Amino acid sequence: MPERCTSLRVFSGNAHPELAQEVVRHMGTELGQSWVNSLSDGETRVEIGESVRGKDVFIVQPTSPPVNETTMELLIMVDAFRRASAKRITVVMPYYGYARQDLKAKGREPISAKMVANLLAAGGVDRIVCMDLHVPQIQGFFDIPMDHLTALPILADYFRDCGGGDTVLVSPDLGGVARARALAERIGGSIAILEKKRLAPTRVVVSNVIGDVRGKTAIMIDDIIATASTVEQGACFLREAGAHSVSVCCTHPLLLGRAVQRLTNAPIEKVIVTNTIPLTAEKRIDKLQVLSIGRLLADSILAIHNESSVSRLFC
């Protein structure tokens, strides 16, 4: 690390320590000393093992499942660093829990994504770093500085190296068109959109594909794969519509419920994801490939610490 970075310290919660270790390895430093554990009644207890007075502190903690536990753990860590007189506290949250509760779909519902943003700001966070939010408008929920990173360059590098001939980037819904177009612009290819109807929060029906996929290599792109219901139906529909092959990519592989079984049985060649969320052994099926965001996070942390541009990392 450059000499100027001696005041920078990176810490990790329990959500994804492997990613935090990878980040500091790219930075040429070591992870800060801290301990996060539970008391006998389930309360979270945090202890910082070194002085952070006047330091630029970065906490790497995706609020992935169990979301309530990782979120509360993060808030308590922030409070500990604030009371230890850290100069600035930046939360590096590759996956933002509650992001899918970003609006009121019907009366008397909360907007939980906004509530979590309020909690972080009120808790003493000075800056937030997130990656591929469910909808970009969530950036406006924060009243503190925020950097919104994207895994698109990493995904684009992978697919460019793999080739693939005549490619079509497929959005699973209208809301994901901008994401599909952005990847298409990076690797070349056309775009298509799946038309679907959501019958329940975890139940959808794919009924049509808008665009030409016949004879093409189809790549479905989304921010999150949760239950994989849309992915499974979409892959079957694309093959029936004449796609030569179907691959799937996303930033956040939640893989909940029957997701692994659906991905295994669906007519999908490859599932490309990133390591924003830790993956247990049973989720690492043969067709799954995990790309690392460690270097991107490391470069972003250094850019923020040195007061240089973060957006240049995505040019």
- pLDDT given for residue 260 in this prediction: 97
Average pLDDT over residues 192-196: 90
Which CATH number characterizes residue 138's domain? Answer: 3.40.50.2020
Catalytic-residue membership of 196: yes
211 and 304 both lie in a single domain: no
Check pLDDT > 90 for residue 189: yes
- pLDDT above 90 covers a percentage of the chain that reads 89
CA 220 – CA 172 distance, rounded (Å): 7
Could you read off the pLDDT of 147-178 as tens digits, one per residue? Answer: 999 999 999 999 988 876 699 999 998 889 99
244 and 198 both lie in a single domain: yes
If one counts the domains in the chain, the total is 2
pTM of the predicted model over 0.85: yes
Average pLDDT over residues 253-264: 96
125 and 185 both lie in a single domain: no
- pLDDT given for residue 199 in this prediction: 60
Indicate which residue of 87, 104, 114, 196 is catalytic: 196
| Domain ranges, residue 198 | 152-291
159 and 100 both lie in a single domain: no
185 and 265 both lie in a single domain: yes
- pLDDT given for residue 5 in this prediction: 60
166 and 274 both lie in a single domain: yes
83 and 172 both lie in a single domain: no
Average pLDDT over residues 3-32: 92
Check pLDDT > 70 for residue 7: yes
69 and 47 both lie in a single domain: yes
Average pLDDT over residues 192-202: 75
CA 180 – CA 218 distance, rounded (Å): 11
Average pLDDT over residues 235-257: 96
226 and 110 both lie in a single domain: no
202 and 219 both lie in a single domain: yes
31 and 123 both lie in a single domain: yes
Pick from 10-19, 30-39, 199-208: least confident: 199-208
85 and 14 both lie in a single domain: yes
Burial class from Cβ neighbours inside 10 Å (0-12, 13-18, 19+) for residue 278 reads middle
For the chain, what is the HEC assignment? CCHHHHHEEEEECCCCHHHHHHHHHHHCCCCCCEEEEECCCCCEEEEECCCCCCCEEEEECCCCCCHHHHHHHHHHHHHHHHHCCCCEEEEEECCCCCCCCCCCCCCCCCCHHHHHHHHHHHHCCCEEEEECCCCHHHHHHCCCCEEEECCHHHHHHHHHHHCCCCEEEEECCHHHHHHHHHHHHHHCCEEEEEEEEEEECCEEEEEEEECCCCCCEEEEEEEEECCCHHHHHHHHHHHHCCCCEEEEEEEEECCCCCHHHHHHHCCCCCEEEECCCCCCHHHCCCCEEEECCHHHHHHHHHHHHCCCCCHHHHC
- The average confidence (pLDDT) of the chain is 94
